[in-house]
Amino acid sequence: MRFLGHAALGLVLVCCHSEPVGDPNLDSGTDATVDSGDSTTRDSSLDTDSGVVAPDTTVDAGDSPTADTADVADVLVDVSKDVGTFDCGTYKGTRMVRVETPTGPYCIDATEVLSKDYNAFILERYTMKSPPLQCESVTPTDYGLVTPAAVGEVPRNAVSWCQAYAYCQWAGKRLCGAIGGGPISYSGLLDETHNEWYHACSGGAPATHTYQYGNTYDRARCNTDELSDGGPDPDGGPTAPAAYPDCHGTSAPFDQIFDLSGNLFEWVDTCDPSPDDAGFLYCAYRGGGVRPGGGPPLDPEINDRCVSDNRDPRTFNNDWLGIRCCKTP
């Protein structure tokens, strides 16, 4: 994994090896727990094939839906029924928010993709159309395990770029990239006039925020790794959006978009144009995130900034990685 800082805020960071900055001792085999933020507790173990939390009550993607997964049927959602004028058309999964820009509108998921919506994707056994380079071998059996309904409102973690790409395609959306559609280059990561994710996080154009919620870091505003002891999830895992109701932008429509700072890192459609010397295509993920199971912090004051990005191979996954999709209405 490569971490790159940007000069926009005087941020000077060096590349490092296999995880986000501030966490040099991460062991991807560490026991991980996803907690919905309520009083429910459960034992869990790590599924080494997908990297996703695999509790004892998990059903395999090849099994028929049980009572635990009956509420994850893929229901088409029309956002105009939920948000009035924020019309993003018809799609599956997480509710979207429409954002107007001088170069055209885009829609972005109001929250990170929830486990219940990812479950629906797994159960449908969707096959990617025109899979990107190095995602060709990813099939429905590689999407991971269905998680229990008890954590349905918690964002899905431990997904690779290829899995995130497939999910967004299934939902009638795409990974966030350029306003108007398509990927955006690394040189455009801080271009709020063309980059959907950065435009949403920084409060529009011109960019006005260091963090989604303002210019001063607030450890209690969003689910950060600093809160892994004593926060809504004492194990340091992702939480349902309701656990941090003030983790959003400051003005409409950005005040309806949650957890761009903290909770989980989110893959975006920004990748190397060609493989590196080892044959890997690296892609970016942004937004800061927590480490399920606790452990050394991921330096949220740096990683939660809208300008920060981390990079890893397309097929890499770990428990701090989640999904947020975009769409051209």
Answer yes or no: are the C-beta atoms of 151 and 304 closer than 8 Å.
no
Rounded CA Rg of the chain: 18
Q: What is the pLDDT of residues 251-275, one digit of tens each?
A: 999 999 999 998 999 999 999 988 8
Greater confidence, 50 or 301?
Answer: 301
Confidence of residue 1 (pLDDT cuts 50, 70, 90): low
Instruction: Estimate to the nearest angstrom the gap between the alpha carbon of 10 and the chain centroid.
Output: 26
Task: Give yes or no for residue 65 having a pLDDT over 50.
Answer: no
E strands along the chain, which residues?
A: 2-4, 44-46, 53-55, 76-78, 90-92, 96-99, 106-109, 174-175, 265-271, 282-286, 309-313, 321-322, 325-327
Share of the chain residues as helix, strand and coil, in percent rounded to the nearest 5? 20, 15, 65
pLDDT score recorded for residue 86? 55
Tell me the pairing of strands 321-322 and 325-327: unpaired
Q: What is the pLDDT of residues 109-147, one digit of tens each?
A: 999 999 999 999 999 999 999 999 999 999 999 999 999
- Interaxial angle between packed helices 115-124 and 161-170, expressed in degrees from 0 to 180 and rounded to the nearest 10: 80
d(CA 101, CA 94): 22
Mean pLDDT, residues 25-42: 35
d(CA 195, CA 214): 19
Confidence of residue 228 (pLDDT cuts 50, 70, 90): very low
Q: What residue spans define the domains of the chain?
A: 1-329
Tell me the percentage of the chain whose pLDDT exceeds 90: 57
Task: Give yes or no for residue 6 having a pLDDT over 90.
Answer: no
Mean pLDDT, residues 183-196: 95
Q: Say which range, 1-5, 159-163, 272-276, 304-308, has the weakest mean pLDDT.
A: 1-5
Residue type for 313, please?
P
Mean pLDDT, residues 211-235: 74
Closest CA to 258 of 233, 231, 235, 238: 238
pLDDT score recorded for residue 181? 96
Mean pLDDT, residues 217-239: 70
Q: Which residues of 90-102 are buried (b: 16+ CB within 10 A; e: fewer)?
A: ebbbbbbbbbebe
Domain 1-329 listed as CATH 3.30.980:
no
pLDDT score recorded for residue 293? 60
Tell me the percentage of the chain whose pLDDT exceeds 70: 69
Task: Give yes or no for residue 280 having a pLDDT over 90.
Answer: yes
pLDDT score recorded for residue 226? 67
Q: Calculate the average pLDDT of the chain.
A: 76
d(CA 329, CA 309): 26
